[in-house]
Amino acid sequence: MDLIPLPHRTERAEGFFELGDGFGIEAGPGTEGTARWLRGTLGAATGFALPPKNGDEYDVLHLSVRPGLDAEEYRLVVAPHGVHVQGGSPAGVFWGAQTMLQLLGPDAFRRAPLPGRTWRLPLTEIRDAPRFRWRGVMLDVARHFMPKDGVLRYLDLLAAHKLNVFHFHLTDDQGWRVEIRKYPRLTEVGSWRARTKFGHRASPLWEEKPHGGHYTQDDIREIVAYAAERHITVVPEIDVPGHSQAAIAAYPELGNTDVVDTTALSVWDTWGINPNVLAPTDNTLRFYEGVFEEVLELFPSEFIHVGGDECPKDQWRQSPAAQERIRELGLKDEDELQAWFIGHFDSWLTARGRRLIGWDEILEGGLAKGAAVSSWRGYAGGVAAARAGHDVVMCPEQQVYLDHRQDAGADEPVPIGFVRTLEDVYRFEPVPAELTPDEARHVLGTQANLWTEVMEDRARVDYQAFPRLAAFAEVAWSGLPAPAERDFAGFERRLAAHYGRLDALGVAYRPPTGPRPWQRRPGVPGRPIDGPPPNR
């Protein structure tokens, strides 16, 4: 049974249970969503109607919430006359159903039945539960926009790998992707750029056509609901005070008008760290409060991500208004000014029952008590945050930034950063060894990030994500041994079967032999970094 992620405990018996036209579903209270999902997915692949049945009949899939199990824990039993999926909550039942789908073989992931196909499950009992509560993927749709259907597809791919947090990077210098009705120019102006740098920012190549798009508020509601049906939480990111040129292009008064002519700024068409940041004014605070008011209506998540990363302070140093604000607030420097800016929104979100999370730069200048940290610049930020009592999501760039290249070969498309092989990702350990058990409890989980500067379409995102995202999913879910002791050869054997599932799902993954001809980008320069990444 080549399951990914690896279950905690599996007991196999001789024989199989065969599904036929009469196979139906008994959905106990709280499992109706999983039953509906199975009729839409397994029903499409098999052609079976999967009608409602009661527990006294044969050939039944029994779905039930069972007290005593942890929320995401499940028990899957395939017996000679039926199948039982029990979970500690509706989420646990759903994860058990995902495992059952894998047991049926790759064709269970197709959208229409193949002729002559028989469907059978090995007689088995599986007991399973996740290691972490936060098993996330960040998708950047600001640099290259992914239309709504592509986002829904990615939610299905996350669910198939038992990943349960979708970090939705919606705003950046290169585009604003969410409709804010109070400020229509954010999408009228801020969602489109005139052209796009092709490759790394040092590349001489340009795609000379407009690029952009945005999600309407109804699109967002649909995405959030679709995710919720798959027990995935959508965490939105609205980036402040850096990475904000798209917003400033739409509303120039948000920028440091006493330093630069913000009316001359357009949505940025290249990559890197942008000097044009938000002005630390009351007007800016009120504007973004208006943005977040609408964001909170759209996203019910506990956490709201505010970015906080890569905010150059040069304009604040040159701005008389920013310097006056530092003096007025009794702050020491520009780092404390950023901490004040982030702290304002931490208090604002806390007053509304939400929690702020930001990239680890929000630690600079002091961090508000209730804030959580996405540790991306290695492990150090996460260690510091956990020791200070802040919750942490571990997503170090050197380990789980999947935009980094997968191999040192010359054919890798637009190679960025360090080589992070499939095995490297499989041996990634989210909890730093130097944390005490009490400190380690602040590690909510882990997240892989997909930054899309050099991923111009869905196929490029697929290539960078898979199969490494399958390895990451196992790290996030399964209770694996220490990195050096992990059975990577065993994972590779299971992955050989998993490629069939990815094929059925239409995923343009990187083959183990290297990129296919159409996956290459000859002549498009990247920025490869040689040597092993620093482990810090």
**Catalytic positions, written as ranges:** 172, 243, 310
The three-state DSSP-derived secondary structure of 230-264 is CCCEEEEEEEECCCCHHHHHHCHHHECCCCCCHHH
Asked if 235 and 357 touch (Cβ cutoff 8 Å), the reply is yes
Say which amino acid occupies 387. R
Could you write out the three-class secondary structure of 62-90? EEEECCCCCCCCEEEEEECCEEEEEECCH
Burial class of residue 39 (count of CB atoms within 10 Å of its CB; 0-12, 13-18, 19+): middle
Terminal-to-terminal C-alpha distance of the chain = 37
Residue type, 352: R
DSSP SS3 for 163: coil
Per DSSP bridges, beta strands 60-65 and 82-87 are parallel
Residue 536's closest CA among 392, 391, 399, 393?
Answer: 399
Amino acid at 459: A
Do 281 and 253 touch, CB atoms closer than 8 A?
Answer: no
CA 115 to CA 139: how far, in whole Å?
37
Most distant CA atoms of the chain, gap in Å: 78
Question: Is the Cβ–Cβ distance between 163 and 138 less than 8 Å?
Answer: no
Distance CA 491, CA 489 (A): 5
Number of other residues whose CB lies within 10 A of the CB of residue 254: 25
User: Which CA distances in Å does 197 have to 192, 211, 263?
Assistant: 14, 11, 22
Number of Cβ within 10 Å of residue 13's Cβ equals 12
For residue 315, give the H/E element and its range: helix 314-318
In terms of DSSP bridges, do strands 119-128 and 9-19 run parallel, antiparallel, or are they unpaired?
antiparallel
Buried b (16+ CB within 10 A) or exposed e, 139-153: bbbbbbbbebebbeb
Q: Any idea which residue has 């007025």 for tokens?
A: 328
